[in-house]
């Protein structure tokens, strides 16, 4: 196995351990947020003709642009065979079975993205679709100014298409859009401006496989605003990784504000 495939395998295994909305609630097609949070199917074609497919989440921030986690696409040689799926219960695989899908035109990854056994750094990407999302879908605003930071224990709304064997009664193949409220816990550093990650308590649930890139939203002036995208659970300051997952990390949109505003103009 070459180095590239080893990195992909590490990324997938890390994501499977680290990232479904355990304890969350299913979102129906009638929920307004079902028209903003998008399923992503990352497709990798091997030299021997085999195809690997990976699952992720993202949030629509313009008619043809999705904000997501960089690690969803970083290890792919070609993102243009990957797709956005517009359904709360996406059908994964080659056959769409009538569900609306749009191929990806390009992905812009934050240039200093990296990943190790402790988590990811600068984990943010913008996905550009080859056509606009269906007319009933609506972009959400992104918090880039930092004027209304969350307060301690304020509840953020996490959304994603994840599923794991920690969700009883559901097969691992059953990926669907779910939502979960978690308490804001802390910044990486002292303020919203100098912290690349925003952290939430996992007391009532957590993110898992397939939720990577799904948004965390806070309500401001009676509308939902995107404050971050899901990346991993907490492993820092841990001796045993399997007993130290008390918090979930999201890439903080305010920290990446200049990069987001610049690339939304592409």
- Considering the chain, what percentage of its residues have pLDDT values greater than 70? 81
Question: Could you give phi then psi for residue 10, rounded to 5 degrees?
Answer: -60, -45
pLDDT band for position 170 (50/70/90)? Answer: low
Q: Tell me the β-bridge partners of 141.
A: 225
Kindly list the distances between the CA atom of residue 243 and the CA atoms of 24, 172, 212, in Å, as whole numbers in the listed order.
21, 23, 21
Expressed in percent and rounded to 5, the helix, strand and coil fractions of the chain are 15, 35, 50
The correct answer on CATH 1.20.1740.10 for the domain covering 141-263 is: no
Side-chain-side CA neighbours of 217 within 13 Å: the count stands at 26
Interatomic CA distance for residues 97 and 65, integer angstroms: 24
Q: May I ask the CATH class of domain 3-19+36-129?
A: mainly beta
219 is written with which tokens? 């309500």
Contact 57, 51 (CB under 8 A): no
Q: What integer pLDDT is reported at residue 11 of this predicted model?
A: 46
Would you state the pLDDT for residue 243? 46
CA distances, 31 to each of 70, 141, 202 (Å): 27, 17, 24
Tokens representing 194?
A: 């100098």
| pLDDT tens, residue by residue, 220-241 | 999 999 999 999 876 555 545 4
Q: DSSP 3-state assignment of 159?
A: strand
Looking at the chain, the domain(s) classified CATH 2.40.10.10 span 3-19+36-129, 141-263
C-alpha dihedral (153, 206, 258, 12), degrees to nearest 10? 160
* Torsions phi, psi for 174 (to 5 deg): -90, 85
pLDDT band at 12 (very low <50, low <70, confident <90, very high): very low
């Amino acid at each position: 196995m070459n180095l590239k495939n080893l990195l992909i395998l590490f990324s997938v295994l890390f994501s499977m351990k680290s990232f479904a909305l355990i304890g969350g609630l299913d979102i129906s097609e009638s929920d307004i947020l079902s028209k903003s949070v998008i399923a992503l199917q990352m497709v990798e074609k091997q030299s021997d003709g085999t195809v690997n497919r990976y699952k992720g989440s993202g949030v629509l921030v313009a008619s043809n642009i999705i904000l997501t986690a960089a690690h969803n696409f970083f290890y792919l040689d070609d993102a243009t065979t990957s797709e956005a799926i517009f359904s709360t219960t996406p059908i994964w695989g080659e056959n769409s079975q009538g569900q609306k899908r749009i191929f990806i035109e390009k992905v812009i990854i934050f240039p200093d993205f990296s990943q190790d056994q402790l988590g990811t750094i600068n984990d943010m990407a913008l996905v550009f679709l080859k056509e606009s999302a269906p007319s009933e879908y609506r972009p959400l605003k992104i918090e880039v100014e930092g004027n209304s930071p969350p307060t301690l224990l304020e509840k953020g709304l996490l959304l994603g298409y994840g599923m794991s064997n920690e969700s009883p009664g559901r097969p691992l193949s059953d990926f669907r859009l779910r939502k979960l409220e978690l308490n804001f816990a802390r910044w990486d550093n002292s303020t919203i401006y100098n912290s690349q990650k925003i952290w939430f308590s996992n007391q009532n649930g957590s993110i898992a496989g397939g939720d990577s890139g799904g948004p965390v939203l806070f309500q401001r002036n009676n509308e939902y605003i995107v404050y971050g995208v899901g990346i991993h659970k907490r492993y820092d300051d841990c001796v045993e990784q399997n007993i130290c997952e008390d918090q979930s990390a999201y890439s903080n949109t305010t920290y990446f504000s200049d990069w987001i505003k610049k690339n939304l103009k592409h």
